[in-house]
Structure 1
Amino acid sequence: MAINPGLLTHWPWERLGSFKYLLYLPLVANAVRSAMTPEGRSRDNFSLHILVLAALRYIQGQLWITVTSVHDIVKKHQVQTKGMKFDQLDRERDWEDFILLQALMLLAYQFSPLCLPNHAVWDWRGLVITILWHLGPVEFLYYWFHRALHHHSLYRRYHSHHHLSFVTQAVTGNVHPFAEHLSYAVLFGSTLIVNLFLGTASLALIYSYMLWFDFMNYIGHCNWEFMPSWMFQALPLLKYLVYTPSFHSLHHTQVHTNFCLFVPLYDYIYGTVDKTSDQLHLAARQGRTELVDFVFLTHPTDPLSVFHLSFGIPSFAAQPYCRKWYIWLLYPLALPAMLLLWAFGSPFTVEEHTVDKVLAQTWAIPRFSFHFGMTSEIGSLNALIERAILAAQDKGAKFICLGIHNKDEHLNASGALFLKNHPGLSIKVVDGSTLTSAIVLDKLPKDASEVFLVGVEHKVGRAIANYLCRHRATEVTVLAKSSSYAFESLKKSVPQESQHKLVAVESLEHGKHCKAWIVGEPLRAMEQLHAPSGACFYQFTEEAMEETRPDCSYAKLPAMRLPPEYKGIRACEVRVSPFSLAGGAHRLLCPGREACREESSRQVTREESWRPWKTGTITRLATRLTWTRLMP
C-alpha cells in the first residue's frame, strides 16, 4: 500500500478474492450469444477475442514467472541479488488484476458506438502508425507522467506502492494502485484509438500490441539481464531505443533516474539517465560465481505440489499446499513434467534465502514421495542425493540438511551411507532430528509420566522414547513387536537402569488409558478411537492428522518462526525451506505472508508449549539448534 493512500487506490473487486473472476462471465455470455445467434454471427465475436487475448496474457505472465524463478537459469545474471521480503509477495499476489480491468474496458468498447461491426484481420498501415505513435506521444507523455508521479504528493499517495518493491520480479510492473492503472490504460489505449479513427485498426494489431506491451513490461522488471552486450556494441544507437532489465532496475534502486517506459531516448534528452546504466549492464552480463553457506535438500511431494513453488502459480504459492478441486485440473501438465524430471532431471535449486550476510538455498532432487516406496528407485535416489551433497560441498556449503524422505533410514541410514562412502567430506550432513525431537518434547506436559508412542521405526520416535526413559516418564508404551529391530535398537540405546520403563505392545488398544499419544504416522479416524477422552496427539508426522475427535486435542506439527530479517521466501509451500525440520510438515512460519498469519498465531500459542525462534543469523541458528554430524 502507498505511504498515504489516495483516491481510487483500492481495486473495486479487492474484497471479492477469487470471486473476481466471475466478472468475466458477461464476456463469456456475450461470446456464447454471438456464436449462437444469426445476428451475432454476422459480426465479429469480439467478446471471444477479448477472452482469448486475456488467456494469452495470463499464459505469458505465468511463463515469465516460471522462467525467472528458476534459480539455475537466472542466478548467474541477476541484476539485484538481495532477497525479497515477505510482504512483497503478498502485495504482488494479484498481479493479473490489470488483465481483468483491460478486458472489461474492451467490453465497454464493444458496446460503444465506436466499435466496428467487423474488424480487419490485418492492416500493415496500423503497424506503422502504432510504431510512430508509441515512439512519439506515448513514450513522451509517459516519461513526463512518470516524473510527475515521483512528485512528493503523487508519490506518497500512489506511486510509492510500486516502489516498495526494491528488488523486482517479472510481475512487479503490473502492480500499481487502481487509479494509476486507469491512467495507464487511457494512455496506452490511445494507440488503438488512433488506429480506430484512422481506419487502420485490426484484430492482429490489438493482439500484437497488447502482448508486446506486456512482454516489454516483463523485461524491465524481471531482474534477469539476458540481453547480450554485443548487441549494443554492434548497434550503438540501439541503447536509445531499447531498455534492458538492468536499466529499469536502477529506477527501483535509485528512484530518480531512468524514467522511460521502454525507450530510453527521453531519459538521454532530458538528462535523467543513471550514469552507471552501461556499467551495470556489463557487470550483470559477465555473471558471478555462486557460493552458498547452507543447503536444505528436499523433493516434491506429489505431482501437483510443484505448482505451489516459487516457479509455480503465485496465488497457489501464497498458500500452504492443499488439494483443492480446481488444482486437479492441472494434472495434464503435472504428469508430463513429472516424467521429464524422472527421465532427465538432476538436483536443482528451488529457492535462495538470506539472513544478514549468510546465504542458504533450498535444493530438490527430481523425485516424488511415491518414488521412495519403490525398491527399484533406491539406487537412483541415493545417487541423486550423493550428487547434491558433493555439489553443495563444491559450492562451499558448511551444512546440508536432508529433508523429508531424503533421510529415510531404510534408504541411506539417515545419511550415514554417504559418510561411509566419502569419509573425507568437509560438509556436515544433518537431518534436523534433534531439533524435531526437542520441539515435540517441549510440547509434552512436564507431568506426563505415561506416554503411548506410535512411530518407533522413525529416528525421531526413538530419540523421543530414549529421552523420556532417561529423564521424565515412568512408562513409555511403544507400538512395536518386542522382537522387532526398531524396538531392540531402542532398548539397547537406553541405559540398563531405565529399560524397565519400555513396554512393547502390538495393538493400539493398549493406549486406551494413556492421555499423551506421540505419533509419527497419521492415524486414521478409526485408529484414533483407541485414545481415551481428553487425550492429546503430539505429532511429528509428514502431514497433519485429520482431527476427528472433538473430545481430544491435537498439537500442531513442529514449526519455528522466521526472523524478520529473513529474505527470499517466495512460496508458502512448507516443504521447501532450508530450516524445515525432520520431515515435510515440520514447517516454517512466515510472519509476513497473509496466508500464514492465522496459522502462525495458532501454532505458537503457549498451550502448545513451544516458543518461536528468534535469531539474527543462520550461524547462530545452526549453533543453538545443535546441528551434529550424522553418525552411523
Structure 2
Amino acid sequence: MAPALSSWPWASLGVYKYFLLAPLAWKAAQEWRGKQGGGAVLPVDSWWLHLLALFWARGLTYQFWYSYSSMLFLTRRRRVVPDGVDFRQVDLEWDWDNFLLLQTLIGAVVVNGPLLPGPKHLSLWDPRGLAIVLLLHVGFSEPVFYLAHRALHGASLFRQYHAAHHSSRVTQPLTAGFGTPLEALLLMLTTGVPLAGAFLMGSGSIGLVYVYLLAFDYLRSMGYSNVEVISHRVFEALPPLRYLIYTPSYLSLHHREKDSNFCLFMPLYDLLGGTLNSKSWELQKETYLGKEERAPDFVFLVHVVDIMSSMHVPFVLRSISSVPFANHLVLLPFWPVAVAYMLLMWCCSKTFLVSFYYLRGRLHQTWSVPRHGFQYFIPAAKDGINRQIELAVLRADRIGVKVLSLAALNKNEALNGGGTLFVDKHPELRVRVVHGNTLTAAVILNEIPSNAKDVFLTGATSKLGRAIALYLCRKKIRVMMLTMSSERFLKIQREAPAEFQQYLVQVTKYQAAQNCKTWIVGKWLSPREQRWAPAGTHFHQFVVPPIIGFRRDCTYGKLAAMRLPKDVQGLGSCEYTMERGVVHACHAGGVVHFLEGWEHHEVGALDVDRIDVVWKAALKHGLTPA
C-alpha cells in the first residue's frame, strides 16, 4: 500500500482532472450573473475568478520559462547540463501542474471560509503587506523549507516522497512542479504563511496575492530552467547577493549531487546549515560565460510545413511536441502568436537549432530554416530559400559538421537540384551534403509485397520516382509510370537494361490503374483521383504533405520512415507526424551516411545500385523499418 500523500487522488483522470475546477467556474459565473446578491459583481470582486486567473497565470509563468529555456538557438551556450530531455522524463513529468490544481482547490476552501474578507473589502495594493510578506518569507518560509527539504532527503522519506522528483537529472521549469502531494503541501505552506500573516495584520491586498505568488513561481521556474540568466559580474560586484538569490547552476548541483544546496531561494540557509556546495559560484560563472559549443557530427536541416505544425517545435508545448503531430484544438488560440513568430523569423532570416540527441555518443542536431512550406511554391522566394540553405551548409562546414542531410522541400529538384546547387558552387566543402533519398527509396521498395506483379507510380519522373521505377523493373515488376511527358519517360526507360525496359510503361490517366492494388504516390492525389484505385489498394507514398485518406476500403502508408537504434539518448520530441523514436527516411539516410563514414555527397539523381547497399547499412547500424 502506498504511503499517505505519495500519489495524486486524480491520477487516473488524465486531462479530465481540470474538471475539478468546474465548481469554481460555476461559482464565478453565479456571482457574475448576480445570483448571490443584489446585482452582478465586478471580476475584481470575485475570489473565484481570482483563483482561476491565478491558476492560469501561474501555469503560464512556468510555460514561458520552459519555452525560453528550450529555445536552443538562444540558450545552448549557457545551459548548465547540456544533455537533452528524453521521453522518459517527459512522461514522468506529464502532470507537473498537479500542485497548482491542489493549491487552487485548497484556496477555494480558504476563500469560502469566514476568515478571509471578500475582495471588495480589500484594496488593490498595500505596500505594507509586501514588507510583511518579505519578512515572513525570509524568517519563516526559507528556513522551514530548508529543514523540510533536508528531512525529505532522509532515506525513508526520500524513497517514498522525493526520489521521483530527483529522477529528472536535466531540470526544466516544468520539473519544478513535479512531485508528490506532500511536496505540494510543503510548497503551499511556504507561500501561504507569509500571505496569511499579511492579511491577519490588516495589510493584505489583491495585488499582494498576485505579486507574491507569481514572483514565487518566477523564481522557481528560473532556478529549474537549466539556463544561467544572472551575470557573474553581479555577484562579483555585490558578494552578499550570492547568499540572497540562488541560480540554475546552484539548483542543478543539488539535483545531481543531492547532499548540498537545499535552500528554497536563499543560499544563506545552506551556508548556515553547512550544506553549501563549494563549486556553486565557479560553475555559475563558467556557465554564464558560455561553454564552448560542441560541433555536431550530423545535422538534419528541416523546415516548417505550415503554421499549425510550427507549434510542434519542442520549445512551444512539451506535451504536444512529444507525441506525433496533429491539429489539436488547444493550439488554435496560439495561432496568432505563431504567425507573429513566423514573421519575426523571416525578418531575422537565420537558421536556428531546434533539437538534438546523442547516438553512439555522437551529437546529432536538427536545424531549421526560417521558411514555411507554402513559400517553397512561390517562384520569387526560390533564391531567398536557397540562400538560407546555403548559409546553413557553409555554417555546418565551418564548425566541423561531418554530414548535413536535407529534409523534404529543402532538396526539391526544382529548387536546387536535390542539393546539387550547393555542391557544385562550393566544391571545397568538407561537410557531406546528403538528400537521403536513397534510403527513402529503399524503405518504400521494401514495403512492396513480394508477390506484386505490377505497380502504379505517380511522380514517376522525380528523383525518387525514377529510382523506384528502375529498381522495380529489374525485379520484373511492371511499372505504370504516370506522366504526360513522353520525352522524360523515354529518358528513364533508356536507363534500364535492355531486357527490362519492357516493364516500364507510360500511362497518362488514372483509369489505367483501376485494376492495380499497389499505388506508389509521389504526387498529391485528390479524392476524385483516388477513386480509380480498386478496393483493397494500399497507397505507398513519398509526397509532402502526405495525401489524405478518403477511401475506407483502402489502406494508406505513412511517409517513409525508420526507427532509430535503441541507444539514442536525449530524444524527447517527435519528428512531425512520426511516432516516438521514428524519423523520416531522409533523416535516417543522413544518419547512416555519417555512421558509415562515407565521403561522397549524396545529391542529385539517385544511384539505383546503391539502394540495397544503403538499406543493408541501415539495418547493420540498428535502424529498423517503422
* TM-score when normalising by structure 2: 0.90
Retained in 2: the 8 A contact 1:482–1:504?
no
Pick aligned residue for 1:562 from 561, 564, 580:
564
The one-letter amino acid of 1:355's match is L
Pick aligned residue for 2:440 from 436, 441, 447:
436
Q: 1:97 aligns to what?
A: 98
Within 1, Cα distance between the matches of 2:343 and 2:559?
32
The one-letter amino acid of 1:247's match is Y
Structure 1 residue 392: Cα displacement = 1.0
The one-letter amino acid of 1:518's match is I
Retained in 2: the 8 A contact 1:299–1:364?
yes
Pick aligned residue for 1:424 from 405, 425, 428:
428
Q: 1:278 aligns to what?
A: 281
The 3 A distance-change label for structure 1 pair 272 and 400 is: same
Q: 1:463 aligns to what?
A: 467
Answering whether residue 139 of structure 2 is matched by residue 132 of structure 1, we say no
Q: 2:505 aligns to what?
A: 503
User: Identity percentage over the alignment?
Assistant: 37
Which ranges in structure 1 are unaligned for 5 or more consecutive residues?
589-612
Answering whether residue 387 of structure 2 is matched by residue 387 of structure 1, we say no
Provide, for residues 565-621 of structure 1, a one-character-per-residue CA deviation record: whole Å limited to 9, x for no partner.
3223332242799984357xx8x8xxxxxxxxxxxxxxxxxxxxxxxx9xxx96786
Retained in 2: the 8 A contact 1:173–1:218?
yes
Within 1, Cα distance between the matches of 2:183 and 2:454?
64
Retained in 2: the 8 A contact 1:295–1:578?
no
The 3 A distance-change label for structure 1 pair 628 and 467 is: farther
Any idea what SS the aligned residue of 2:212 has? Answer: helix
Q: 1:41 aligns to what?
A: 41
The one-letter amino acid of 1:41's match is V
Q: 1:600 aligns to what?
A: none
Retained in 1: the 8 A contact 2:473–2:503?
yes
The 3 A distance-change label for structure 1 pair 626 and 418 is: closer
Retained in 1: the 8 A contact 2:32–2:41?
yes
Pick aligned residue for 1:574 from 573, 576, 579:
576
Q: 1:335 aligns to what?
A: 339
Within 1, Cα distance between the matches of 2:333 and 2:574?
21
The 3 A distance-change label for structure 1 pair 203 and 514 is: same
**How many equivalent pairs are there?**
597
Structure 1 residue 628: Cα displacement = 4.7
Q: 1:366 aligns to what?
A: 370
The one-letter amino acid of 2:65's match is W
Structure 1 residue 339: Cα displacement = 2.0
Q: 1:605 aligns to what?
A: none
Pick aligned residue for 2:224 from 221, 224, 236:
221
- Bigger mean CA offset, 119-128 vs 411-420: 119-128
Structure 1 residue 533: Cα displacement = 2.7
Which ranges in structure 2 are unaligned for 5 or more consecutive residues?
606-626
Within 2, Cα distance between the matches of 1:198 and 1:524?
71
5 Å matches for 1:534-613? 534-574=536-576, 580-581=583-584
The 3 A distance-change label for structure 1 pair 239 and 93 is: same
Within 2, Cα distance between the matches of 1:406 and 1:582?
15
The one-letter amino acid of 1:213's match is F
Within 2, Cα distance between the matches of 1:7 and 1:517?
59
The 3 A distance-change label for structure 1 pair 575 and 29 is: closer
The one-letter amino acid of 1:372's match is Y
* TM-score when normalising by structure 1: 0.89
Any idea what SS the aligned residue of 2:301 has? Answer: strand
Structure 1 residue 262: Cα displacement = 0.6
Any idea what SS the aligned residue of 2:101 has? Answer: helix
Within 2, Cα distance between the matches of 1:631 and 1:523?
25
Off by >4 Å, runs of 4+ in structure 1 = 575-579, 617-621, 624-628
The one-letter amino acid of 1:76's match is R
Structure 1 residue 419: Cα displacement = 0.9
Q: 2:61 aligns to what?
A: 60
Answering whether residue 242 of structure 2 is matched by residue 245 of structure 1, we say no
Retained in 1: the 8 A contact 2:408–2:544?
yes
Any idea what SS the aligned residue of 1:468 has? Answer: helix
The 3 A distance-change label for structure 1 pair 222 and 192 is: same
The 3 A distance-change label for structure 1 pair 164 and 120 is: same
- Bigger mean CA offset, 364-373 vs 519-528: 519-528
Q: 2:603 aligns to what?
A: 630
Within 2, Cα distance between the matches of 1:429 and 1:103?
53
Pick aligned residue for 2:415 from 391, 411, 416:
411
Provide, for residues 422-461 of structure 1, a one-character-per-residue CA deviation record: whole Å limited to 9, x for no partner.
1111111101101111111111122212111122143222
Retained in 2: the 8 A contact 1:86–1:567?
no
Retained in 1: the 8 A contact 2:312–2:576?
no
Within 2, Cα distance between the matches of 1:201 and 1:296?
55
- Bigger mean CA offset, 55-64 vs 133-142: 55-64
